[in-house]
Amino acid sequence: MREQASRLTVVSIECCGKKIRSGPEERATPLDKSDCVFYFVSMAETATPELLPGKIEETKDQSDSALEPGYLVICWNDPVNYMGYVTHVFQTVFGWARQKAEFHMLQVHEQGKSVLARESMEKAEHYVHQLQKYSLHATMERDEK
């Protein structure tokens, strides 16, 4: 306790309402009267945070796709665009390999439409606008699942 008191710096000493001593560098000395009040300022020491190894477990009740409704990006058949062009657009917009792009292009050609993606509303809007920019007939619908 004595070591700790020697590190403290006296800001002011009051005894019975009278200021006895003040100053930033003066050291405290014990007074005989018990009704005296000492005011000390000490330098706070910086504590280093301690990280202990352990496991952090996170549990998810539902997947992210189950929490937010999905939107389907649908491309419709049109008599204007060539099949090779539609394949190229699918590769460019979605970054698909040629086989996947051709599969969806043939689905559009033979069945009249193809569901290209299930995304959040913002991503689905983005894809629809990209496809429309290439003059393809594309829409988005809310997924019923």
Q: Which domain holds residue 9?
A: 2-41
pLDDT above 70 (res 139)? yes
Residue 61 lies in a domain: no
Residues 74 and 114 sit within 8 Å (Cβ to Cβ) = yes
DSSP string, 72-100: EEEEE--SSS-HHHHHHHHHHHH---HHH
| Residue 122, domain CATH | 3.30.1390.10
Structure tokens at 47: 């504590």
Residue indicated by tokens 């945070």: 49
Q: Do 21 and 77 sit in the same domain of this protein?
A: no
> pLDDT tens digits, residue range 83-117?
999 999 999 999 999 999 999 999 999 999 999 99
125 and 83 in a single domain? The answer is yes
- What is the tally of structural domains in the chain? 2
What pTM was computed for the model? 0.55
